[in-house]
Amino acid sequence: MDVIKLVLQILLGITSLLLTMLILLHKGRGGGMSDMFGGGMTTSLGSSGVAERNLNRVTVVLGLIWAAVIIGLGLVMRFSIES
């Protein structure tokens, strides 16, 4: 059980870091605060290039792995307490 836990924890560390990096690579949308509550025009240009679309895909996959690892860790923890 401890081996699985350690592997999952290391995996979680790596995916967390990668996910943060990838998200920072994205181009920001939305213009911050005045946009959020003050109204105003959001002109979102819908032209996302191939690079951006691939980045989206990679980020989504990584996000899924990240969530799965967290859930897995939670399960491991849960069962190790009971046993």
Partner 1 sequence: MFAAIARVFRTPDLRRKLLFTLAIIAIYRLGVYIPAPGVDYSNVQQCLAAGNTTGGLYQFVNLFSGGALLQVSIFAMGIMPYITASIIVQLLRVVIPRFEELHKEGQSGQAILTQYTRYLTIALGLLQATTLVSLARSGMLFPACDLPIVPDDSIFVIVLMIFTLTAGTGLIMWMGELATERGVGNGMSLLIFVSIASGFPSAMGAIATSQGWGVFTGVILIGVAVIALVVFVEQSQRRIPVQYAKRMIGRRTVGGTSTYIPIKVNMAGVIPVIFASSMLALPSMLVQFNTGSDGTLPGWAMWVQTNFSGSSPLYMATYTLLTIGFTYFYVAITFNPTEVADNMKQYGGFIPGIRAGRPTAAYLEYIISRITFPGALYLAFVALIPLVAFVLINADQNFPFGGTSILIMVGVGLETVKQINAQMQQRHYEGLLR
Q: Point out which residues bind partner 1 (CB under 8 A).
A: 9, 12-13, 15-17, 19-20, 23-24, 26-39, 42-44, 46, 48, 59, 63, 66-67, 70-71, 73-74, 77-78, 81
Nearest approach, Cβ of residue 39 and partner 1 (Å): 6
DSSP the chain: -HHHHHHHHHHHHHHHHHHHHHHHHSPP-S--HHHHHS-----------HHHHHHHHHHHHHHHHHHHHHHHHHHHHHHHHH-
Nearest approach, Cβ of residue 60 and partner 1 (Å): 10
